[in-house]
Structure 1
Amino acid sequence: MAETWNSAVRQKSTELHGHTWHVTFDDSITPDGTAPGWYQYISGSFAGFTCSLCKRYWASKRVQVIFHFYLNSASNQGTIKVRCFKQECKRCDEAQMEEPNFPVENVDVLVERLVGKIRMRCYKEDLGDTNRASKLFDKIEGPHESLHCEACHLGICSQAK
């Protein structure tokens, strides 16, 4: 999963002033819990899940993703920490929180939006309304399962509000 995200960021490197940015996944980051000098961006996207117990597949149209990012201007290197919130199977009594599986198209759109935020925050660029252009690939309709959503449990899911 990390390679898909790093590849999407590398494709945007020209927009990031040629600096090198690395993506790491960190399940400990929280909304508004950024370290000094770091910035935050929260978004959501469609993703699929597979239960590790019963192998049931389900899709969710709003999976929360938190990004914390920081540019070390001395080394021209940036770090992006990502936390993708999990969901659990509604059929299994001992269900585990499962990792989301994002379509590549949605990773690309999430990274495109993130890069816009990085350009505004770290490089002080004025992008106007251009950071709203891309549409996420969303192929499902239906209710959000708040009882099985990690972000809802933590009170940060946009669907629960």
Structure 2
Amino acid sequence: PGRTMRTWQKIFAQKIADMDVEEPWIIQEDGSLQVHNPEHGRREYLQKHAAGRFQCSQCLHKWSSAKVHILFHMRRGKVRMRIFRQSCRRCSSAPLEEPSFSQENMERILHNLVLQILKDFYNVPVSHCEGCRLGACTKPLVAPKTPTWKPRRHLGTATSPPLQAALALGPALSPPALCHEGGEAAKFLAAVAPGPFLSMLRFSQPRSVMVPAQPPSCRGNSLASS
């Protein structure tokens, strides 16, 4: 146990140095810590999903757990740590066993701890991105800007073939709406056919639109019925 604690302390010191914290910090094990009961002036931090391995001292059964709880109580310059144990499910009176951790998981646990220290004692904003917490991200996570939609190309005048094809689909959407601004067909045409015809849909008076070049009938029910 003492050797393992020295490993925790070594990794913790390195993590503190990596974050350019100039004040000295130490970490110590304390099996008497209680959840939600820190001493006055201390901060509490609980990690609930650490990955560890256990072995029963009675039947030698081994198991892994991704829900090892580790409790930290912190004051400026000092951290006390308690790792909660688990018992074997195969043994009726199994004792609580200490977990073991890989080097990678120890570094992950202590990296998260140091980020919490930066937040609680140095007012450093901490990202909620797991990649940032693990040091994988080089930049803060920023939400992408909503792109402004632009047509790929101008489809031409109301008599051009592309626009005529769009008009032919109008009755399949909602036939009466084709002749009224704001209907489903108008929205469809606004998406695929910007230009003179779209301007006419938006700004012509009266609101009913006269479509040149033999427009589809506004009384048609659907393409299937034609």
With the length of structure 1 as denominator, give the TM-score of the two structures.
0.73
Per the alignment, residue 116 of structure 1 pairs with 115
Q: Which runs of 5 or more structure 2 residues have no equivalent in the other structure?
A: 135-226
- Cα distance in 2 for partners of 1:101, 1:128 equals 28
- Cα distance in 1 for partners of 2:131, 2:43 equals 19
Pairwise CA distance, 1:54: 1.7
Per the alignment, residue 17 of structure 1 pairs with 21
Per the alignment, residue 85 of structure 1 pairs with 84
Q: 1:45 aligns with which of 50, 63, 75?
A: 50
Q: Which runs of 5 or more structure 1 residues have no equivalent in the other structure?
A: 72-77, 136-161
Partner-residue secondary structure (3-state), 1:126: coil
Distance 1:13 1:31, change over 3 A: same
Q: 2:6 aligns with which of 3, 7, 11?
A: 3
Q: 1:35 aligns with which of 24, 28, 39?
A: 39
Distance 1:103 1:70, change over 3 A: same
Pairwise CA distance, 1:132: 5.9
- Cα distance in 2 for partners of 1:82, 1:132 equals 24
Which amino acid is the alignment partner of residue 105 of structure 1? E
When you count strand as a share of all residues, which structure comes out higher?
Answer: 1
Any residues of structure 2 matched to 1:113-152 within 5 Å, and which?
113-129=112-128, 133-134=132-133
When you count helix as a share of all residues, which structure comes out higher?
Answer: 2
**Residue 64 of structure 1 contacts residue 85 of structure 1 at CA under 8 Å; is this kept in 2?**
yes
- Cα distance in 2 for partners of 1:38, 1:98 equals 28
Larger radius of gyration: 2
Identical residues among aligned pairs (%): 28
Pairwise CA distance, 1:16: 5.4
| RMSD, aligned α-carbons | 1.8
Distance 1:131 1:39, change over 3 A: farther
Moved more, 13-22 or 109-118: 13-22
Which amino acid is the alignment partner of residue 24 of structure 1? Q
- Cα distance in 1 for partners of 2:106, 2:23 equals 20
Which amino acid is the alignment partner of residue 7 of structure 1? K
Pairwise CA distance, 1:128: 4.3
Pairwise CA distance, 1:89: 0.9
Which amino acid is the alignment partner of residue 12 of structure 2? V
**Residue 113 of structure 1 contacts residue 132 of structure 1 at CA under 8 Å; is this kept in 2?**
no
